[in-house]
């Protein structure tokens, strides 16, 4: 089918399928909807590189269909998964003079060679998803403007303050099965909080996507060994491996994120927006969240990575006092306004379209802002 004459086609490519529940894929599903809402004349096409055996053929077909322009946005295509297909996409864009971007959501120094090849040899324009990622790139000599990623606020249920004494104290945590998420630390901290039968821990452990299934199973086995010790104290621990995209933050008393590294953390922001206190490891991405939303009480929500006892103390104090939940309620309008201004998906879509270049400039930012 031929595209409308005045339509720009934006190809967004990522190593994993949208059906996969992980932070970036959840984000991209919402982003695709927001781009269309901001500018209906932009046609978006999603490339799951795991299924694109010959991506150049797909790109060529889109180009032949005709439109005002074709642009390519690769999301984390510098990582190791399906690297040959990523390179194929950028090679085709370079040969056909199609504007190509690399939006980097995760960056470690071992990615330097891949990023340098995509930028220097194949002409990819770099974009950083957060200030944290931008700083990491800058250390290796890369320049990348920030197109700040966000969260979809419209689907979040705002908690009307469930008093912490009205039921068990429920601690929640979620993440892919990678060791940098430090799931074991959360289990140990919950156990050391000594809340006994008055508390529950609910953990959602999702496939790593990047490691063999055997590695995932090994990590689950290690987590379950810690869980057994905690259950022996009388506390309830529920492990969920179902890949669902929604959290019921209204049923949580606290949310814990103990990672060694995050480019961007969606779930703590979602929890806070919904009125659920979030305890976060003091890594740069989490410090950005806490500095904006908790500028006067960072020590009340942050703990050092690996600080199991510190997290346990925070959980125990919140279970006994409920004061962080009360503060969130007192500042609810301010908190939600700050999150909407800094991390809304509509803001992300607008910023992305603004940076993508002249084929969008005459139309982007035209749609009215939706109330948050």
Q: Which of 25-34, 169-178, 223-232, 266-275 has the lowest mean pLDDT?
A: 25-34
Confidence band for 22, pLDDT divided at 50, 70 and 90: low
Q: Do domains 8-150+344-361 and 169-339 have the same CATH topology?
A: yes
pLDDT digits (tens, 9 = 90+) for 150-196: 988 876 656 554 544 467 899 999 998 999 999 999 999 999 999 88
* pLDDT at residue number 326: 93
CATH architecture, range 8-150+344-361: 3-Layer(aba) Sandwich (3.40)
What is the model's pLDDT at position 3? 43
On the 0-12 / 13-18 / 19+ scale of CB atoms within 10 A, 4 is exposed
Domain ranges within the chain, ordered by starting residue: 8-150+344-361, 169-339
pLDDT category of residue 364 using cuts at 50, 70 and 90? very low
Of the options 2.60.120.380, 3.30.70.890, 3.40.50.2000, 3.40.50.2300, the CATH number for the domain spanning 169-339: 3.40.50.2000
DSSP 135: H
Mean pLDDT throughout 336-363?
81
pLDDT band at 6 (very low <50, low <70, confident <90, very high): low
Query: Percentage of the chain surpassing pLDDT 70?
Result: 87
Question: SS in 3 state form for the chain?
Answer: CCCCCCCEEEEEEECCCCCCCCHHHHHHHHHHHHHHHHCCCEEEEEEECCCCCCHHHHHHHHHHHCCCEEEEEEECCCCCCCHHHHHHHHHHHHHHCCCEEEEECCCCHHHHHHHHHHHHHCCCEEEECCHHHHHHHHHCCCCCCECCCCECCCCCCCCCCCCCCCCCEEEEEEEECCHHHCHHHHHHHHHHCCCHHHEEEEEEEECCCCCCHHHHHHHHHHHHHHHHHHHCCCCEEEEECCCCCCCCHHHCCEEEECCCCCCCCHHHHHHHHCCCCEEEECCHHHHHHHHHHCCCCHHHCEECCCCHHHHHHHHHHHHHHCHHHHHHHHCHHHHHHHHHHHHEHHHHHHHHHHHCCHHHHCCCCCCCCCCC
Per-residue pLDDT band for 202 (boundaries 50, 70, 90) equals very high
Q: Is 307 exposed, middle or buried (0-12, 13-18, 19+ CB in 10 A)?
A: middle
Model confidence at 372, pLDDT cuts 50, 70, 90, reads very low
pLDDT of res. 169: 94
Q: Per-residue pLDDT for 363 more than 50?
A: no
- Spatial CA neighbour of 148 closest among 356, 12, 342: 342
Q: How many CB atoms lie within 10 A of CB 304?
A: 12
134 pLDDT above the threshold of 70 = yes
Q: Counting every residue, how long is the chain?
A: 372
Confidence class for position 369, pLDDT limits 50, 70, 90: very low
For residues 255 and 156, what is the distance between their CA atoms, to the nearest angstrom?
15
How far apart (Å, rounded) are the C-alpha atoms in residues 55 and 244?
29
pLDDT of residue 8: 84
- Tens of pLDDT, residues 240-275: 887 665 678 888 999 999 999 998 998 999 999 999
């Amino acid at each position: 089918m031929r595209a409308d004459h005045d339509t720009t086609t934006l190809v967004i490519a990522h190593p994993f399928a949208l059906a996969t529940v992980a932070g970036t894929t959840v984000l991209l599903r919402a982003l695709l909807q927001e781009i269309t809402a901001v500018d209906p004349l932009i046609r978006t096409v999603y490339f799951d590189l795991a299924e694109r055996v010959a991506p150049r053929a797909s790109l060529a077909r889109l180009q032949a269909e005709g439109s005002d322009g074709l642009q390519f946005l690769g999301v984390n295509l510098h990582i190791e998964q399906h690297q040959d297909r990523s390179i194929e996409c950028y090679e085709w864009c370079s040969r056909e003079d199609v504007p190509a971007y690399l939006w980097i959501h995760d960056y470690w120094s071992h990615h330097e060679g891949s990023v340098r090849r995509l930028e220097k040899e194949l002409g990819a324009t770099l974009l950083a998803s957060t200030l944290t990622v931008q700083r990491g790139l800058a250390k290796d000599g890369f320049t990348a403007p920030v197109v700040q990623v966000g969260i979809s606020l419209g689907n979040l249920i705002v908690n009307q303050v469930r008093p912490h004494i009205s039921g068990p104290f429920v601690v929640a945590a979620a993440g892919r099965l990678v060791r940098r998420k430090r799931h074991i630390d959360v289990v140990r901290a919950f156990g050391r909080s000594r809340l006994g039968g008055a508390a529950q821990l609910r953990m959602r452990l999702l496939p790593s996507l990047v490691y063999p299934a055997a590695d995932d199973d090994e990590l689950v086995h290690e987590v379950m060994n810690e869980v057994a010790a905690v259950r022996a104290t009388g506390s309830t621990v529920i492990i969920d491996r179902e890949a669902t995209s929604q959290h019921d933050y209204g049923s949580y008393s606290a949310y814990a994120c103990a990672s060694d590294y995050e480019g961007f953390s969606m779930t703590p922001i979602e929890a806070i927006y919904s009125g659920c206190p979030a305890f976060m490891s003091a890594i740069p991405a989490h410090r950005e969240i806490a500095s904006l939303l908790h500028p006067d009480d960072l020590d009340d929500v942050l703990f050092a990575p690996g600080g199991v006892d510190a997290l346990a103390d925070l959980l125990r104090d919140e279970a006994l006092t409920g004061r962080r939940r009360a503060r969130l309620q007192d500042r609810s309008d301010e908190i939600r306004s700050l999150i909407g201004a800094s991390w809304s998906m509509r803001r992300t879509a607008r910023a992305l379209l603004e940076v993508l270049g002249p084929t969008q400039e005459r139309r982007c930012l035209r749609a009215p802002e939706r109330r948050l």
